[in-house]
Chain A
Amino acid sequence: MRITDIKSLAYAFISNDINVYFPDNGQECFVIERLCCEKCSTHWHTSLLECYFCGELNYYLYQCTTCNKKYSITNSSIRCNCGNINSKLIKACINPKCPSNTVDKIKKIALKEKGVFNLKSSLNLSLMYCINCGSPSNYYKSFKVFIYNDRYESNFNDYFKRIEKDFVLNDIIILKKHNSVLKYDFFHYSVQKQEFSLPSTYRFKNIGSLIFEIIRL
């Protein structure tokens, strides 16, 4: 298979926020990986910040220190139209009950650091709770992926004999068929001594729905 065909599939995974890793030693496969919530499998975004004192998320807003009016952070040079000469726009925690908005000592630190979500603030952390279900547990979902592409392969049994030594439990074979449109399916090696044969019809008309099914495994 040409490297461009492998890259094409790799980019399809990447466009769905799944990371791709290529082998160092010439294997006919690649590895996909995503950090997920252990409870609900939602993507775990390590770049998303949350407030240290209440767990509220960063909504990329400025908030006026006098009237709490909110502004886009796109324009960093604006002032609040409340007219208070001492007002500042800071990247505050939006939760009005957050100690960074209610406890004087923490408010003081937040103001000094230009808001909980300012780049150099010490009052935020990388996501601690799933944005979907609130679970604190994350783990890596990862699969080794092989590709049976009918453009280059004519016999599945021959292909399988070639990859068999590297194909282990939990690995995936993506099936790709070129007709008038591209169609896809996949095998997931989920049970010892499972047997595989090509299906008569492929289930997926687009790569996105195939990837969605894979990442739900």
Chain B
Amino acid sequence: MKFPIKIFEDIVGTDFEKHNKKHVTEDYVSCNLFECGWDTYRPFNDTGIDIIAIKKVCPNNHTPFHEKTTYSYNCNKCGSSLLSIHRFIQVKTREVKGDDSYSQFFGYTLKSKDIRTDPRHVFLLYSDATDEFIIIPMYDYLKMFHNKKIGKSHFGTPSFRVGNNKVNSLKRESDGSWVWKSRPNIYSFMPFVNENGMELISNPKYDIELSKYVMEIVKMKFDLFYNYSKGQQVDSQTEREFNDLLEKSVLDNLENISNNRQITKSYLESTLDKSLKESINGYLIKYKEILFK
């Protein structure tokens, strides 16, 4: 089956501008997922997830990505009871920029709050000008950077923590292939494009072995985030010093983080005056677990 399907035949993606494309592209993604047997759900309130997609699949991964299983209970191939899997999808739509006879780039920004440790979290990058989906589950996204085949990671940079680290290394070549170019590395993104990406997110391994994948994502996330990268901020010597410090104060100290926070909280509880605590509680109101008494 060719994917995606041109569901909205009266329009093309580039009919829309930055200010009005979000709704139509999320709808386009949802409709395409529906055509492959996924039930999709969109947020009623403001959340970080654009689409929740749910589908029944064979626990032995026999269900083709495009098979509709709504009225099925068992796998056609092995007879196993189908398993309902959930995917939590963050959609980013961009128009590729650059010269299509050479190489175009798909620029996007991710912040630290976007990196959850659930392997069912999916980044869906939609290239509207070329009508292509690049579908990357969280585990696979971090793995590329963690095993360093993709080149230098941006997760340890100051701009990533600030939240304005726009990544321009994802390129669409003149032959239509998608690659990550970070000198001197060129890394193929074709395993995530269109049908290939759909096969990946249809695999129930992330649901069946959820805890295992969560633990692996945690390890990768910590290795990537706490590998301080100097950017324009400091020199190389200082970069090394900061990484030594991070190892001592954070990575070797994981068990004590919670204790240390308790100590600080108790200290603040006993030393701050009532009006200051009330003022702080005004900001902490949605974090009920740490409000001052």
Contact = CB atoms under 8 A, between A and B. Distances in A.
B84 A168 contact: yes
Interface string A78-119: 000000000000000011001100010110010000000000
Interface residues of A, number: 74
B289 A132 contact: yes
Instruction: Specify the main secondary structure of chain B where it touches its partner.
Output: helix
Contact of B44 (A10, A25, A27, A144): A10
Indicate the member of B118, B234, B253 with the most A CB atoms within 10 Å.
B118
A130 B119 CA distance: 18
Contact of B261 (A33, A47, A57): A57
Contacts of A204: none
A59 interface: yes
A197 B222 CA distance: 47
Contact of A126 (B83, B113, B249, B255): B113
B233 interface: yes
Interface in B255-290: 255, 257-261, 264, 268, 272, 275-276, 279-280, 282-284, 286-287, 289-290
A138 B44 contact: no
B56 A168 contact: yes
Nearest to B34: A25
B168 interface: no
B283 A60 contact: yes
Contacts of A136: 117, 218, 221-222, 254
Given A71-B276, A120-B162, A139-B117, A21 B43 contact: yes
Interface string A1-23: 00000010010001001011111
B200 interface: no
A131 B258 CA distance: 7
A204 B158 CA distance: 49
A95 B84 contact: no
Contact of B111 (A48, A59, A94, A126): A126
B127 interface: no
Given A57-B290, A122-B159, A140-B121, 9 more contacts: A48-B287, A52-B246, A55-B260, A73-B283, A121-B162, A131-B290, A134-B259, A142-B86, A165-B70
11 contacts: A19-B45, A21-B44, A22-B41, A33-B52, A38-B211, A45-B286, A48-B287, A54-B249, A57-B290, A59-B280, A136-B221
